[in-house]
Amino acid sequence: MITKILDEQPTNAVDIIENISKDVKWAQFQKKMDTLRDEYEIPPTFEAAEKRKALFLKANGEGDEELEEEIGETPLPNVMETAFYFEQAGIGLSKDESYHIFLALKKLISVQPIQTCRFWGKILGLEMNYIIAEVQYHEGEEEEETEEEEVTEEGGKGVGEVEDEEEEKEKEDEPPKSTYKPPPVIPKEENGTGANKYVYFVCNEPGKPWVKLPPVTPAQIVCARKIKKFFTGRLDAPVVSFPPFPGNEANYLRAQIARISAGTQISPIGFYQFAEEEGDEEEEVEGGRDTYEENPDFQPLSVAEMVDSPSTWVHHVQSILKQGRCVWLNPFQKSEEEEEENEEEEKAEEPDELQQELQQEIGPPLLTPLSEDEGIQNIPAWTAQPSTNLIPQYAVAVLQSNRWPGAFAFASGRKFDNIYFGWGHKYSPENHAPALPPPVQAEYPSGPEITETRDPTLEEELAFKAAREEALAAAEEEEEEEDVEDDEEDD
């Protein structure tokens, strides 16, 4: 107030001192507005709340009637209960994120015809992360999808055949063709079997749309074992590596999920059992059983027993062979129609087929105990421990995979589950070394038909000229003699 009086210097300062005091006080409650206003910035917390707002909204028409149906049988897993058990060992996400994932899975089930659903885990990325859901469709839905894929493949083949015929007509003088025969392409396993037994949906954050991952092929699994790449969080991102990966990041993510599931999905021994069906012997010959069912007479073991011995846990997912499939397939085996058409070619390839049959791969059978897993140098494949040593009667058995860091499993009575939180990389005691390029091809074999002739010496040239002159002279003499004989006959 004194500063204002000194600045303005009114004549009657004593009379208007009350008004000056009011003006100073009122100025403190007024904003200093400028002609250029700052742009309004949306805080990130508000953006995240807007994205997840749809998870908390009910669809139109939902009420008490649907609430009773939801209480009954539903494929929706209890994510919060699973998070509670893993939290006993210090594993998992925050409660807010777990509940958001819970709501996101509920939204996925309401959109897709899903029979079973499970929260598989979370794979970290450089830009964004992947939240993964493992589902199984109803039987009819799977068949429709496979039929659509077959139709598209057949259509593509028809167009290719027409183009080949046109090219053959256009090309009359073809250059020599290479005799190299590429190795046969190993087909992928059908949906609902082997590495494609489950379907996987991913999203970057709860509230964003779920994206279905494509089926995995043996070539992608074989190549994924040779490379080591960090995920970016964008499914359409290219995978630049050597050897070149056949696909983008969505295919690489699907291959890593298949590898992690095959090596870390475990359950207490006796929880699953093989179904008693006819023809079990035939299945075992083809590569072992691939189906199981829950054991109604399962009696859970104590936490101390499950922690002390790894043989109390078993793998309930088929292992992946070096071929990239769970069930070995002979790539040289042909159908009956192809055998009738190409009998001569098959006779020439008989030795190769025999070699392939001798090299048939047989992996460990389903429900194999963890005690048979190979360690990593001096590190065991699994580390087991109770969730707490202070209150053992309420402890939970927790297993951690040392081969795939980030893979965990818990068991408490009849309840168990598996989960993965990590970068999607397999542990290696040594630094990753990319594969070397193939060796340089050998030179072509030298022979008289392709060897260049050497230049003649001076003596050889002179001798050749002399012989040529003698031959010309002899030919001229013969012509002269013939002319003389012809003249004599004319006379």
Strands 382-386 and 272-273 turn out to be unpaired
Tokens linked to 163: 């183009």
Q: How far apart are CA 231 and CA 406, in angstroms?
A: 15
* b/e 200-225 (16+ beta carbons within 10 angstroms → b): bbbbbbbbeebeebbbbbbbbbbbbe
| Three-state SS at 117 | strand
The pairing of strands 415-422 and 114-123 is: parallel
φ/ψ of 338, rounded to 5, equals: -65, -35
Tell me 256's DSSP state. H
* pLDDT at site 255: 97
Q: Which of 189, 93, 197 is nearest to 135 (CA)?
A: 197
Distances, alpha carbon 225 to alpha carbons 136, 219, 263, 353, in Å? 26, 10, 13, 26
Strands (E), 176-271: 199-203, 211-212, 266-268
**What was the pLDDT predicted at 166?**
60
Q: Which stretches of the chain drop beneath a pLDDT of 50?
A: 61, 64-65, 68, 144, 146-162, 278-286, 346-350, 353-354, 356-357
Residue 314's SS3 state is: strand
- pLDDT at position 162: 43
Residue found under tokens 């013969």: 478
What pLDDT sits at residue 283? 44
Q: Report the pLDDT value the prediction gives residue 453, as an integer from 0 to 100.
A: 78
The identity of residue 359, as a single letter, is: Q
Per-residue pLDDT tens digits for 107-150: 999 999 999 999 999 999 999 999 999 999 987 666 545 444 44
pLDDT tens for 7-52 read 888 888 888 888 888 888 888 777 666 666 666 778 888 888 888 8
| 72 backbone dihedrals φ, ψ, rounded to 5° | -75, -150
Q: What is the pTM of this model?
A: 0.74
